[in-house]
């Protein structure tokens, strides 16, 4: 038989575990959304930096005084971001590529950027030397720049798809967790209903027990518990019954003492009769027969006394147990 408290603990543990799991998944999803949004922002920023580097080169191509500070800053930031995307960062804001497809695309971006930087450095040196770059160099730089932009766009799309797939998986986990939680809630409702039925049955039985009358014990005043809780009502009913049983035990013990005294008097009377018979003039067979009957009576008296003594011992133990129960119940009442 499972305890009611054990059932409540089990269902509470299951519900708590499910709720904590759902909260953890929700928090994880929010963190992942922030993480993915940051990574996509970095990848998109690489596209902007690529355009900025190309723009700076072409602007300096038509200026009399070349200034490549903005180009160098954009180049350094581009390379730093690309390294972070390829290998991740120590703070965990950027993790290594989540899929092989993204890793391949980032590697392709690295190769194209290396080619772009080689061409850009060549054009940059010629501009610094006041030499006009060839048309083929400018065309190749333009083409590599477009390829790099296109590859970065595809990488952003790949990151977005991977993020949506991951979020979708987490959402399915949330749906399953919510369904399991619903089942657990329904189970807890059914369990609570069953516990309530068992509790009502216990209260009904306790009330019936408290109403058991033992001879003249009906004269006891009844305790009004209308304003008390059901548990206190049940406790009061049980206490009333225990007190009644205790009174019955006391009456039984008194009856046993009276019976014991009576048997002792019978035994004394038998001995007196035995002495008187010895002084009479009855024949020996008659005396023997009477003495035999007296002996049987004495044996029965001795056996009855032993049984009465055993019964009194059992009643004493039972009364001691009832006294302990009543004392504990009264202590609980005083504490509450």
User: Per mean pLDDT, which range of 8-17, 51-60, 73-82, 206-215 is the poorest?
Assistant: 206-215
Q: Is the pLDDT of residue 246 over 80?
A: no
Region of poorest pLDDT, from 10-14, 33-37, 117-121 = 33-37
Give the range with max mean pLDDT: 97-101, 207-211, 265-269, 282-286: 97-101
The pLDDT assigned to 115 comes to 94
| Nearest alpha carbon to residue 190 among 5, 335, 1, 7 | 7
pLDDT digits (tens, 9 = 90+) for 283-336: 667 666 666 676 676 677 777 767 777 777 777 777 777 777 766 666 655 655
Which among 132, 134, 159, 135 has a CA at the least distance from the CA of 38? 159
pLDDT at 216 over 90: no
Rg (CA), the chain: 50
Q: Who's near 183: CB < 8 A, 6+ residues apart?
A: none
The first and second tokens of residue 321, run together, are 């147990």
- For every residue of 206-256, which 3-state class applies, written as one string? HHHHHCCCCHHHHHCCCCCCCCCCHHHHHHHHHHHHHHHHHHHHHHHHHHH
Cα–Cα nearest to 112, from 155, 72, 77:
155
Which domains, from first to last, does the chain contain? 4-201 (1.20.120), 216-335 (1.10.287)
Question: What is the band of 167 on the pLDDT scale with cuts at 50, 70, 90?
Answer: confident
At 85 the pLDDT is 92
**Residue in the block written with tokens 């014990």:** 217
Could you report the per-residue pLDDT of 222-239, keeping only the tens digit for each? 444 444 455 556 666 666
- By CB atoms closer than 10 A (0-12, 13-18, 19+), residue 209 is middle
The C-alpha atoms of residue 52 and residue 245 are separated, in whole angstroms, by: 98
Work out the number of other CB atoms within 10 angstroms of the CB of residue 81.
16
Question: H or E element: which one contains 326?
Answer: helix 284-335
Higher pLDDT residue, 21 or 116? 116
pLDDT of residue 230: 55
């Amino acid at each position: 038989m499972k305890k009611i408290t054990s059932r409540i603990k089990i269902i509470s543990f299951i519900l708590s575990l499910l709720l904590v799991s759902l909260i953890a998944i929700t928090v994880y999803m929010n963190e992942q959304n922030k993480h993915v949004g940051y990574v996509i922002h970095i990848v998109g920023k690489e596209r902007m930096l690529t355009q900025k580097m190309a723009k700076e080169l072409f602007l300096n191509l038509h200026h009399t005084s070349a200034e490549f500070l903005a180009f160098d800053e954009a180049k350094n930031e581009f390379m730093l971001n690309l390294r972070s995307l390829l290998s991740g960062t120590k703070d965990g804001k950027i993790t290594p590529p989540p899929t092989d497809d993204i890793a391949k695309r980032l590697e392709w971006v690295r190769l194209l950027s290396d080619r772009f930087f080689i061409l850009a450095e060549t054009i940059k040196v010629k501009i610094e030397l006041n030499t006009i770059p060839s048309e083929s160099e400018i065309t190749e730089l333009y083409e590599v720049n477009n390829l790099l932009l296109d590859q970065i766009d595809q990488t952003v799309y790949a990151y977005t798809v991977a993020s949506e797939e991951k979020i979708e998986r987490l959402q399915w986990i949330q749906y399953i967790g919510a369904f399991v939680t619903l089942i657990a809630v329904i189970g807890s409702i059914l369990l609570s209903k069953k516990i309530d039925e068992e509790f009502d049955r216990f209260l009904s039985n306790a009330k019936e027990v408290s109403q058991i009358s033992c001879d003249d014990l009906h004269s006891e005043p009844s305790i009004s518990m209308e304003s008390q809780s059901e548990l206190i009502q049940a406790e009061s009913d049980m206490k009333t019954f225990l007190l009644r049983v205790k009174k019955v035990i006391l009456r039984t013990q008194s009856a046993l003492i009276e019976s014991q005294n009576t048997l002792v008097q019978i035994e004394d009377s038998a001995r007196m009769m035995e002495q008187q018979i010895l002084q009479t003039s009855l024949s020996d067979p008659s005396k023997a027969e009477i003495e035999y009957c007296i002996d049987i009576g004495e044996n029965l008296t001795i056996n009855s006394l032993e049984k009465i003594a055993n019964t009194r011992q059992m009643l004493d133990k039972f009364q001691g147990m009832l006294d302990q129960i009543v004392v504990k119940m009264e202590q609980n009442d005083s504490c509450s």
